[in-house]
Amino acid sequence: AQTVTQSQPEMSVQEAETVTLSCTYDTSESDYYLFWYKQPPSRQMILVIRQEAYKQQNATENRFSVNFQKAAKSFSLKISDSQLGDAAMYFCAYRSGFRGGNTPLVFGKGTRLSVIA
């Protein structure tokens, strides 16, 4: 079974600075997808960024980018120019490509990010 590990329960960053959240995963599959979700105090889960395992290029969405190291099974999230609205719980998630992608997400335990004004 696949597992996702987020080793940083809590992180903090100064407003306008850059922060990196770590995520490692364990799988024997070669076809899979990785995601970062954000859960603000409202508890609504919001997709931040996704990465396909077959793509070597790291995904980027505005101030959010990932460092995908497939051999090391590492998938870190970098937030640049941090804003107060970035304060939230961040979850790393894995999805198998098996069964045409009709598989549930496997989540890490999350990292709580605080942004200091």
- For other proteins, the binding residues (CB under 8 A) are 33, 35, 42-45, 47, 50, 52, 91, 97, 100-102, 104-110
CB 9, min distance to other proteins, A: 9
Instruction: Supply angle C-alpha 40, 47, 74, rounded to 5.
Output: 105
Query: Which is it for the CA torsion 11, 76, 87, 85, positive or negative?
Result: positive
Shorter beta-carbon distance to other proteins: residue 4 or 13: 4
Q: Which token pair is 94? A: 């894995």
- Cβ at position 50, least distance to other proteins in Å: 6
CB nearer to other proteins: give 44 or 117: 44
Closest approach of other proteins to the CB of residue 108, in Å: 6
- Using CB atoms within 10 Å of the CB of residue 48, give its burial: 0 to 12 exposed, 13 to 18 middle, 19+ buried: buried
SS3 81: coil
Closest CB to other proteins among residues 16, 109: 109
